[in-house]
Amino acid sequence: MTAVPLASSNLERRYRAGSSHEIVAVRDVSLEISSGSFVALVGASGSGKSTLLALLGALDRPTSGTVRVGDQELSGCSDVELARLRRRMGFVFQSESLIPRLPAWENVSYPLVAQGIGEPSRRQLAESLLDRIGLASRFEALPEELSGGEQQRVAVARALVGSPEVLLADEPTSHLDAESAERTCALFREVHSQGTTVVVATHDPELVESATRVVTLEAGRVIDDQDGRDDGPEETVQDAATIR
């Protein structure tokens, strides 16, 4: 897998709240995220983490400043070009955003439909991922039959099914019990060890400890930027299961 760098320069995102009030969600953020990094964005609720993730993932356009994904500067991209770029990324949102009429395996494999991958291969890939996150028994379950935590894990599996070059995740363990959160953290470490660039907004200490870099935001600004753990032998999902 070819890892992809991300960068922002003097990034700002402002919103109108009423006729006279303006909210500045991201203020003058300049970041260089190297290929294959595992970056944790931390800070209080409302500090700008989710907005910054959306900007880096081409899900929103900045009010000013620039975002670059690989060698592509996003401000000059059409909507079609941005959609093509997003297909190289995996996204995990705070709201699970599953398709209600589709069972778990089809939700997981849905991004593969646009790639022309046939149903047998899609089922196999979905089954493998659902097993790795502890949901093999929920293969055919509809979203309404899943708990909130199970829906979140299905969303994580969906983000990973296409082997994305970049994984952007917004509080991916916030609705999970301890065991499920541990599995998810181990899975993130595993995909990072395989070359994926990972950027995650989180309050989870284990995810923060997993990161190779920790960026702290406050009121939309970066106030601290430090190296995280040293890269070394990676714990896999199977390792985590053994520890439990």
Is it the case that residue 74 has pLDDT exceeding 60?
A: yes
Q: Is 103 helix (H, G, I), strand (E, B) or coil?
A: coil
Q: Which domains does the chain have, with CATH numbers?
A: 13-243 (3.40.50.300)
Confidence of residue 87 (pLDDT cuts 50, 70, 90): confident
Is it the case that residue 2 has pLDDT exceeding 70?
A: no
Q: Give me the percent of the chain exceeding a pLDDT of 90.
A: 66
Is it the case that residue 1 has pLDDT exceeding 60?
A: no
| Sheet of 72-73, strand order | 21-33, 6-17, 64-69, 72-73
Is it the case that residue 201 has pLDDT exceeding 90?
A: yes
Cα–Cα distance list, 106 to 87, 88, 111, 153, 241 (Å): 17, 19, 9, 14, 26
Exposed (0-12), middle (13-18) or buried (19+): which is 118, by Cβ within 10 Å?
exposed
Confidence of residue 54 (pLDDT cuts 50, 70, 90): very high
The residue-averaged pLDDT of 79-91 equals: 90
Instruction: Please name which of 169, 165, 168 lies closest in space to residue 196, comparing C-alpha atoms.
Output: 165
